[in-house]
């Protein structure tokens, strides 16, 4: 009993500790909380097996993703209009991922166990983000070992992708694509300074503010989960598919209500649930049973999707006359998720693309679950 209580506390509190360490230790910050939590989870799950561990893992992993999806979508701003280049950049970015996922399946996917499901997960994560990857994993019933292996490859190749963009990609694409309409050199340091000022608030002040203003989004999330679960129960064997898609749909619908959309802790809370999911699902992997057969093909598939979609995206941008900075920021938002947008905008010294990148990422979050499921079904037919 004591062991189970301690395990639950580790699962619930470890993300907070890791987030604190990532802010304090620069090299951990570069790695990111998700990868650190995966490593901790794998170690935890392979060295400690208290009675009831499996039941605790099942409950927490099943609850974390549904709680994250509506909260992530509440912050959407779908009413805002987009310019021609922004709309085309989003379409080109998504189309590039889908086309390369299908092509990669024909090259690598047929030799990989659950290749069609992996194709769906790649579509979801590279049009949306981690929340979509986790949701599609649950929706399609992908084994934990496959999920962890895929996510580990993603961490490595996405790092190489970002390194390429920062080192030579941005300069190269600015020569190849039309010039940006932004005021290059418009630093985003004031935004960072505001964030730094917020970080100076005490933990107690943050906690008080959070519990004072954030209860309503959590209540709305629980209501959406209840409605989705109730309708999903009527679908029988399609419960999880209907459940996840309804969560997405109702989350989008709720985002149009301004008081709910403007709650500032929606996304951080959603990411915390994803962090909990990360350490829990990593601890479910039994390394002694990890089957690496097809692992190299999975790595090749993922690498092709990331760099192949970037190349195709740039070629489409050239054809559609989309400027370089818009193309790059949308690609980063899709491949690495919106949290990387401000960082890349700072590298490009272009404040304007922050909004464009975040908008693209929000659309990706909303569409990722649908696209991932549909592509997985399409690949099953090939």
Q: Each residue of 9-57: pLDDT tens digit?
A: 999 999 999 999 988 888 888 777 877 888 898 899 888 888 889 899 9
230 vs 295 pLDDT, higher one: 230
Residue 72 backbone dihedrals phi, psi, to 5 degrees: -65, -35
At 186-221, the pLDDT tens digits run 444 433 333 444 444 555 565 555 555 567 888 899
Helix orientation angle between 341-348 and 324-336, rounded to the nearest 10 degrees: 150
Of 134, 166, 161, residue with least CA distance to 150: 134
Helices (H), 165-214: 170-176, 189-199, 203-213
Distances (CA, A) of 372 to 53, 110, 232, 313: 30, 17, 19, 19
pLDDT of 354 strictly over 80: no
Distances (CA, A) of 247 to 61, 121, 139, 231, 252: 16, 18, 12, 11, 9
Overall number of domains in the chain: 1
> Residue 102 falls within a domain, yes or no?
yes
pLDDT of 102 strictly over 50: yes
Angle at 56 between CA 55 and CA 60, to 5 degrees: 120
Residue percentage of the chain with pLDDT more than 70: 86
361 vs 213 pLDDT, higher one: 361
238 vs 192 pLDDT, higher one: 238
> Residue 270 falls within a domain, yes or no?
no
Of 369, 368, 379, 289, residue with least CA distance to 108: 379
Of 206, 212, 200, 268, residue with least CA distance to 19: 268
Query: Which pLDDT band, with edges at 50, 70 and 90, does 160 fall under?
Result: confident
> Residue 70 falls within a domain, yes or no?
no
**Most confident of the following: 82-86, 188-192, 245-249, 276-280:** 276-280
Query: Which pLDDT band, with edges at 50, 70 and 90, does 335 fall under?
Result: very high
Query: Computed over its alpha carbons, how large is the radius of gyration of the chain?
Result: 20
pLDDT for residue 92: 94
User: Which domain range does residue 324 map to?
Assistant: 76-261+291-381
Q: Lowest mean pLDDT of 44-53, 76-85, 294-303, 314-323, name the range.
A: 76-85
Largest CA distance in the chain: 63
Q: How many helices (H) and strands (E) does the chain have?
A: 19, 0
> Residue 51 falls within a domain, yes or no?
no
> Residue 12 falls within a domain, yes or no?
no
Token pair of 24 as six digits: 């304090």
136 vs 210 pLDDT, higher one: 136
pLDDT for residue 83: 66
pLDDT for residue 76: 65
pLDDT for residue 12: 94
> Residue 346 falls within a domain, yes or no?
yes
pLDDT of 180 strictly over 70: no
Residue percentage of the chain with pLDDT more than 90: 32
Distances (CA, A) of 57 to 43, 45, 62, 335, 352: 15, 10, 8, 28, 43
Consecutive H or E run containing 373? helix 353-381
Q: Lowest mean pLDDT of 74-88, 98-112, 184-198, name the range.
A: 184-198
> Residue 33 falls within a domain, yes or no?
no
> Residue 303 falls within a domain, yes or no?
yes
Helices (H), 53-169: 53-74, 84-107, 115-127, 130-140, 144-164
Residues contacting 132, CB < 8 A, separation 6+: 124, 125, 364, 365, 368, 369, 372
Read off the pLDDT of each residue in 232-255 and give the average, rounded to a whole number: 82
pLDDT for residue 303: 95
Contact (CB, 8 A) for 127 and 333 = no
């Amino acid at each position: 009993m004591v062991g189970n209580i301690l395990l639950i506390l580790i699962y619930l509190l470890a993300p907070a500790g890791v987030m604190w360490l990532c802010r304090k230790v620069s090299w951990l910050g570069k790695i990111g909380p998700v990868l650190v939590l995966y490593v901790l989870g794998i170690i935890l799950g392979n060295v400690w097996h208290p009675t009831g561990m499996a039941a605790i893992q099942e409950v927490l992993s099943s609850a974390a993703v549904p709680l994250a999806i509506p909260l992530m979508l509440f912050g959407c701003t779908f009413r805002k209009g987009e310019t021609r280049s922004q709309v085309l950049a989003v379409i080109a970015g998504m189309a590039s991922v889908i086309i390369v996922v299908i092509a990669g399946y024909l090259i690598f996917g047929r030799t990989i166990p659950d290749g069609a499901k992996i194709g769906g997960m790649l579509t979801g994560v590279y049009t949306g983000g981690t929340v979509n990857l986790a949701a599609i994993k649950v929706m399609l019933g992908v084994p934990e070992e496959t999920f962890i292996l895929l996510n580990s490859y993603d961490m490595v190749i996405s790092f190489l992708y970002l390194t390429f963009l920062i080192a030579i990609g941005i300069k190269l694409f600015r020569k190849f694509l039309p010039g940006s309409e932004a005021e290059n050199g418009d630093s985003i340091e004031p935004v960072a300074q505001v964030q730094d000022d917020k970080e100076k608030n005490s933990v107690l002040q943050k906690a008080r503010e959070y519990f004072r203003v954030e209860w309503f989004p959590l209540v709305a999330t629980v209501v959406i989960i209840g409605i989705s679960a109730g309708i999903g129960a009527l679908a029988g064997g399609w419960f999880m598919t209907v459940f996840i898609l309804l969560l997405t749909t109702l989350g989008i619908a709720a985002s149009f209500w301004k008081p709910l959309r403007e709650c500032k802790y929606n996304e951080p809370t959603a990411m915390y649930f994803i962090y909990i999911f990360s350490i829990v699902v990593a601890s479910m992997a039994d390394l002694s049973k990890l089957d690496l057969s097809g692992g190299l093909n999975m790595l090749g598939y993922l690498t092709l999707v990331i760099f192949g979609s970037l190349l195709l995206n740039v070629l489409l941008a050239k054809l559609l006359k989309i400027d370089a900075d818009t193309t790059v920021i949308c690609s980063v938002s899709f491949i690495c998720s919106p949290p990387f947008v401000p960082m890349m905008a700072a590298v490009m010294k272009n404040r304007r693309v922050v909004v464009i990148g975040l908008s693209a990422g929000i659309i990706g979050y909303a569409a990722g679950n649908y696209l991932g499921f549909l592509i997985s079904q399409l690949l099953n037919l090939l």
